[in-house]
Amino acid sequence: MDKKDVLKREFLRGKVSRRDFNAGLMSMGLSAAAAGTFVSATIEEAQAAEPKSGGYMRVASTGSHAGDTLDPAKIVGGIDIMRSGLLYNRLIDFLPDQGLVGNLGTSWESNGDATVWTIELMEGVEFHNGKTMTAADVAYSFNRHLNPDIGSPANAYLGDVDTIVADGDKHVVFNMKAPNADIPYLLTEYHFTVQPEGQDTEAYTSGNAVGTGAWMVDEFEPGIAAVFVRNPNYHRSGRPYIDEIETFGIPDNASRVNALLAGEADIIAALDPQLMAEVEASDNAHVLNQPGGAHPTYPMRADTAPYTDNNVRLAIKHAVDRQRMLDLAWEGNGVVGRDHPIPEFDPFFAADVEPLAHDPDKVKFYLKEAGMENAEFELNASDANFGGANASVVMAELMRESGLKVNVKKVPSDGYWSAVWMVVPWCGSSWYGRPTADLMLSIAYITGGSWNESFWSNEKFDNLVLEARKTTDTDLRKEMYRDIQVIMRDEGSTVTPVFTNWIDGYSSKVKDLKGHPHGFTGWMYWEDVWLDDGSA
């Protein structure tokens, strides 16, 4: 590949502007006219590519295990979320540059005080088994999450919901215990998809699960792989393009990249930032780099010594050099975090609540206050975490430079979320973020939240979260969320050092794959994705 071809490739990838493309060609000896003609031809070539139907796409996630499930009320890991996105649909989607967009729901409205929400459904939608979707199916699907006996982690999002009922075949009604202005955004959360009423729970583990999604289950072997085939009766005409999608896990970051470069995977999730250059240098693969709400966390169990003492927690927080950690572990792809999960693009983000300063003197002070000047701390981490175990090692090394003795215990990715997370006193974790601040706080931080990974409990914080949810006055809500962020930073039991970009790798033959702020690999909005084998 000569220099002109390299420049052309970078232009087509969007990394070089048209002006710089033209200037670069002229620096290689082309006349202004010849350079202009070459640029125009390149653009025409790119625009001439028409989507093609067919093809077999292979997608590698960060891991897979025997507990893999297709049950929307049980999904936890990335590969479960990925498969759910292929198999099921939400009522409402959130799309970049478009905002809320109807999917199975065509319209939504509330009464005057946001205590009753009515969703109108698309007519004529068929499940994979040929059954026509009705409001009874939607109510059944949501009531599974509402039922505490099911054990859905999404139950925490439904605390204000009293009942979910069908009103005829075309409307489903959410009756609230208290006002909630966020319901349309709530419905975009990945757990809230639609299944047929009464679907046998065994179907979710046997591979016989039925949804309305663009693809249907063909094979499902937990811990090994799952294959999905095109839904011929999909409600979006002409979509999807791809016939079959195989999903599997490759826990090791380097092995996942090698699979992409060797042509054994067409998309890989969670590209290690340290390996981005290797993919960018390839002639047959690209990097998808999307800012969003993703963030690694380092929860300290507030119910387990020594993390019951906020002095210890403050010592650990002040030991983090956040910008250096972002630069070293993520090559600067992201922004500094402030020990709470609300990203900068959220309307309730409080910019004036600065992160705790990296300060070795304060580390020393708080350790002395706790009577732990010479203590050593163990941090469990694996490649299942964002940034891999490497990010935890980087943070630990920076902490040691600040006077905090931290040893990283690397553990296997396989089984990490069941054997280590929410079990050991201190570990690495990862969050995709949620469509609203309330959803994130409700599931991971409020007392009794299904995934309250730090086991932290703060009554004032809990009350503020609940009051903010009920409040329809935007300015008042902002004040409440600001107080929430201060409490989490100063008293919380979680280190949230950075917000990272969603970084994935994909083959040159994968076309129209677009990033999404809510998750890896475009958040599985793959209906418009197609394969061009001539580009491989």
Residues of the chain with CATH 3.10.105.10: 295-500
Rounded Cα gap, residues 442 and 440, in angstroms: 6
Which of 456, 457, 496, 487 is closest to 316 using CA atoms? 496
Torsion angles phi and psi, residue 260, rounded to 5: -65, -50
Residues of the chain with CATH 3.40.190.10: 56-65+213-290+502-508+517-527
Tell the CATH topology of 56-65+213-290+502-508+517-527: D-Maltodextrin-Binding Protein; domain 2 (3.40.190)
Rounded Cα gap, residues 114 and 292, in angstroms: 28
Burial 341-360 (b: 16+ CB within 10 A, else e): bbbeebebbbeebebbebee
Q: Which two tokens stand for residue 199?
A: 């679907």
3-state DSSP: the chain helix, strand, coil percent, rounded to 5? 35, 20, 45
Which residues have C-beta within 8 Å of that of residue 479, sequence separation ≥ 6?
A: none
Tell the CATH topology of 295-500: Dipeptide-binding Protein; domain 3 (3.10.105)
Rounded Cα gap, residues 211 and 131, in angstroms: 10
Bridge partners, residue 165, by sequence: 173
Classify strands 510-511 and 530-531 as parallel, antiparallel or unpaired. Answer: antiparallel
Q: Which residue has the tokens 């936890």?
A: 76
Classify strands 285-290 and 502-507 as parallel, antiparallel or unpaired. Answer: antiparallel
Which residues have C-beta within 8 Å of that of residue 123, sequence separation ≥ 6?
A: 170
**Using an 8 Å Cβ cutoff, are 526 and 55 in contact?**
no
Whole-prediction pTM value? Answer: 0.77
Q: Which helix (H) or strand (E) holds 503?
A: strand 502-507
Rounded Cα gap, residues 480 and 471, in angstroms: 10
Q: For each successive 10 residues of the chain (536 residues), what is the average pLDDT?
A: 64 64 78 72 64 97 91 91 97 91 97 93 97 98 95 88 97 94 91 95 89 98 96 96 97 95 97 92 94 95 98 98 96 96 93 98 98 97 91 97 97 91 97 89 92 97 92 91 98 97 96 93 96 73
3-state secondary structure of 212: coil
For the domain with range 90-186, which CATH number is right: 3.90.1640.30, 3.10.580.10, 3.40.50.880, 3.90.76.10? 3.90.76.10
Rounded Cα gap, residues 18 and 12, in angstroms: 10
Residues of the chain with CATH 3.90.76.10: 90-186
Rounded Cα gap, residues 146 and 122, in angstroms: 23
Q: What is the pLDDT of residue 471?
A: 85
Which of 474, 473, 487 is closest to 441 using CA atoms? 487
